[in-house]
Amino acid sequence: MVKNGEDIMKIIMLGAPGAGKGTQAKKIAEKYQIPHISTGDIFRANIKNGTELGKKAKTYMDQGLLVPDELVCDLVVDRLQQEDCKNGYILDGFPRTIPQAESLDAALCEIGASIDYAIDVEVPDENIVSRMGGRRACVGCGATYHLVYAPTKAEGICDSCGAELILRDDDKPETVQKRLDVYHEQTQPLIDFYSQKGVLKEVDGTMDMEDVFTAIIGILGA
């Protein structure tokens, strides 16, 4: 439920790449007027603004290294304490691992907060592979289409600039399956972690986008 006063809506979105969790996160953010926060956005903002944390993160990124969990968590918690997060927030793409989840938990605990909902958008791998395999990108302007969900007027030709459409390497079945394997390896423990905390909510992501959103609103209770 959306609660009053101190109790705010703090949400983590879980779901495989291509499950549609980013789309749902944006819709939730819009409906409840809370920020949709991704680690990529946080990194970019801190680096652009030259913050202390941003400088630290940049030293790792410039060397092609992964930013350590502790630093990622510091950046996220710093973001969560900004004014626009006072009524809640949606974290998308963080935490990805158990150490990140534990660091986040400990940091939130220090400021007297905790996650209210971890929403897992469940879609079987084969659905995701076929969804992604239907994506097409324009070689000219970069516009994206889908053979089933967002087709072009003329087959294989971009509506905007008339250039040819391609299937990106990222969307090829073997690449998608590899990403899904990594996701399951990393994220299954997270699903168990939030389940034990009693905040995990699962949603059937194979439904129509609006039906998935309706199911999420039902969970959030408002």
Active site residues: 21, 96, 135, 168, 179
Question: 109 vs 3, 35, 102, CA distance in Å?
Answer: 19, 21, 10
112 Rama sector, left if φ>0, alpha if ψ -120 to 50, beta otherwise: left
Quick one: tokens of 33? Answer: 């007027």
The answer to whether 53 and 81 are in contact (CB under 8 A) is no
Cβ contacts of residue 49 below 8 Å, gap of 6+? none
Residues 90 and 108: their CA atoms lie apart, in Å, by 14
CA distance 158 to 152: 6
154 by Cβ neighbours in 10 Å (0-12 / 13-18 / 19+) ranks as exposed
User: Among 188, 186, 182, 190, which Cα is nearest to 12's?
Assistant: 190
Of 56, 123, 88, 54, the residue nearest 220 (C-alpha): 88
What lies within 8 Å, CB to CB, of 102 at 6+ separation is none
